[in-house]
Structure 1
Amino acid sequence: MSKTVSPQDFAFVFRLPTRWSDLDMLGHVNNSRFFSFDESARLEYFGELMRDDPTFWKQRGFILARIECDFLAQLHHPAQVDVGFRIARIGRSSMDTLAGMFVDAKPVATSRGVLVWYDYEQQKPQPVPDDVRALIRERERIAPEE
């Protein structure tokens, strides 16, 4: 069981509306959509880096190595989902992510992932660059473990 998260744990929050197509036959947002919510927040979190670095996704970047999710409450449409996203740990070549998904500040899901910094030309992991570490440290409310 994961530790309870709150919106205050996150300096970065990305708001997403649910869509009719997110629903399953039981009338709630399907569990697979929470992984898409995590992905959207993750890409927005790193958006500044991706926009300012022409080598991103061509020569360097990250790849998702692992993701898991705890479903805490049913989510019904329509809703605005606030996805708090942060880097909880920065290792030599990997980063642990944490996302809390909230509706009206009530947690509905928590996801955790592992990102690996990757050299796309050599097709292998590389150390997390200092500029990426600095960007992460600068934007986090809770300092990542290093």
Structure 2
Amino acid sequence: MQLDDFRFHHTLRVRWAEADMQGIVFNGHYLTYADVGITEYFRAMGQTYSGETGVNGSDFFAVRTLLEYRSPARFDELLDVHVRIARLGNSSMQFLIGIYRAEELLVNGEIVYVHADQSSRRPSPIPASFRSAVSEFEKVLPEGA
């Protein structure tokens, strides 16, 4: 996974509460960092999330997460959370995540979300408007990829 594989990143600083007594980030916080990165990705794409209406009337649920830890982050370091959609299926999408300190890859992984009807929470097709927004934002995914 290379930095130039990503069009989008969000910078955050490691807070005191996220580190252990040695100043090293506890593993569970990297999933929160990835979630913040995805939220900011949606925002940058113009698809902001609301608890009441989801993403422009659509709701997505995480169904798979995988993180690989390579090197620890420490208290007060700046981290760049890189995010991109690698696959956009009928009702699901796969995000690739890279968490870097400068150019050093600390954590990489993937998160799969399923689009669901808000009332039944059953999988449903990803709306064309969302697909178009992703295609325009990433400029690499063909429509319906």
TM-score range, shorter chain: 0.7 to 0.9
2-side partners of 1:57 and 1:134: how far apart? 14
**Which runs of structure 2 are paired with 1:1-146 in the superposition (5 Å)?**
5-47=1-43, 48-50=46-48, 55-56=53-54, 59-140=57-138, 142-143=140-141, 146=145
User: Unmatched 5+ residue regions in structure 1?
Assistant: none
2-side partners of 1:124 and 1:138: how far apart? 27
Q: In the TM superposition, what whole-angstrom CA distance separates every residue of 1:74-98 from its partner, at most 9, and x where no partner exists?
A: 1112211101101000111000110
TM-score, reference length from structure 2: 0.88
The Cα shift of 1:55 comes to 3.5
- Residue 44 of structure 1 aligns to a residue whose secondary structure is helix
User: Unmatched 5+ residue regions in structure 2?
Assistant: none
- Residue 136 of structure 1 aligns to a residue whose secondary structure is helix
The Cα shift of 1:57 comes to 5.8
Give the root-mean-square deviation of aligned CA atoms: 2.2
**Bigger relative contact order, structure 1 or 2, given CA contacts below 8 A and separation 6+?**
1
- Flag as ranges the 4+ runs of structure 1 deviating above 6 A: none
Moved more, 89-98 or 117-126: 117-126
Distance 1:27 1:75, change over 3 A: same
* Residues 97 and 114, structure 1, Cα contact 8 Å, conserved in 2: yes
Q: In the TM superposition, what whole-angstrom CA distance separates every residue of 1:6-52 from its partner, at most 9, and x where no partner exists?
A: 22111111111100111124431111010000000111111221269
2-side partners of 1:138 and 1:33: how far apart? 31
TM-score, reference length from structure 1: 0.87
